[in-house]
Structure 1
Amino acid sequence: MLAKVFPIKLKDGNQEAAEELVREFAPRGPGQEDGTLSFRVYRDPANPDYLLFVEHFADQAAYDAHTGSAAYKELISGRFAGLIVEFVELDHELVVSL
């Protein structure tokens, strides 16, 4: 399993627009992808203009398919990318799960 975590700083005042885009993207992208095991996006009520993406994929090929999808290209690397200041891509390995 491949785990990806993306802390994302949004441009000021773009929280609502960013959340709308990820709500639109979830069923069209990750919701249709066999290799996407989970796709979660969190907001921090104490930190405006910030989102945290936590995603799990079956393997690297599943992640590549995810980022190569038409929905990803349109909504994430397209429209969402214009709303962000920066993001960091962090790979994680599972230690324990309940």
Structure 2
Amino acid sequence: MLAKVFPIQLKPGNQAFAEEIVRSFAPLGPGVEEGTLSFRVYRHPANPDYLLFVEHFANQAAYDAHTGSAAYKDLIAGRFADLIVEFVEHDHELLVSL
């Protein structure tokens, strides 16, 4: 399994719009992708204009399919990307799961 974690700093004042885009994307992209095992996005209650994406994929091919989808290209690489100040991509390997 491949785990991806993305802390994302948004441009000031874009929290609501970013959340709207993510909510639109979830059922169109990750919700129908066979190799996407989980897709979770968190907001920080004390840190506005920030989102944390935590995603799990069956393997690298599943992640590549996810980022190659039409929904991803339109909503995430397109509209959402315009709202980002900075993000870092962290790959993780699962150690413990309950």
In which range does the TM-score fall when normalised by the shorter chain? over 0.9
1-structure distance, mates of 2:51, 2:79? 15
TM-score (norm 1): 0.99
Aligned to 1:63: 63
Tell me by how many angstroms 1:40 deviates. Answer: 0.2
- Aligned residue type for 2:52: L
> Which runs of 5 or more structure 2 residues have no equivalent in the other structure?
none
Aligned to 2:86: 86
TM-score (norm 2): 0.99
Tell me by how many angstroms 1:79 deviates. Answer: 0.2
> Identity rate of aligned residues, in percent?
84
2-structure distance, mates of 1:96, 1:37? 16
Tell me by how many angstroms 1:95 deviates. Answer: 1.1
Tell me by how many angstroms 1:70 deviates. Answer: 0.1
CA RMSD of aligned residues (A): 0.3
2-structure distance, mates of 1:5, 1:55? 6
> Which runs of 5 or more structure 1 residues have no equivalent in the other structure?
none
1-structure distance, mates of 2:36, 2:63? 7
2-structure distance, mates of 1:93, 1:35? 16
Q: Which runs of 4 or more aligned residues in structure 1 lie more than 2 Å from their structure 2 counterparts after TM superposition?
A: none
Aligned to 2:96: 96
2-structure distance, mates of 1:61, 1:71? 17
Q: 1:48 is paired with a residue of what secondary structure?
A: strand
Tell me by how many angstroms 1:94 deviates. Answer: 1.0
Any residues of structure 2 matched to 1:12-51 within 5 Å, and which? 12-51=12-51
How big is each residue's C-alpha offset from its partner over 1:5-40, in whole Å with a ceiling of 9 and x where there is no partner? 000000000000000000000000000100000000
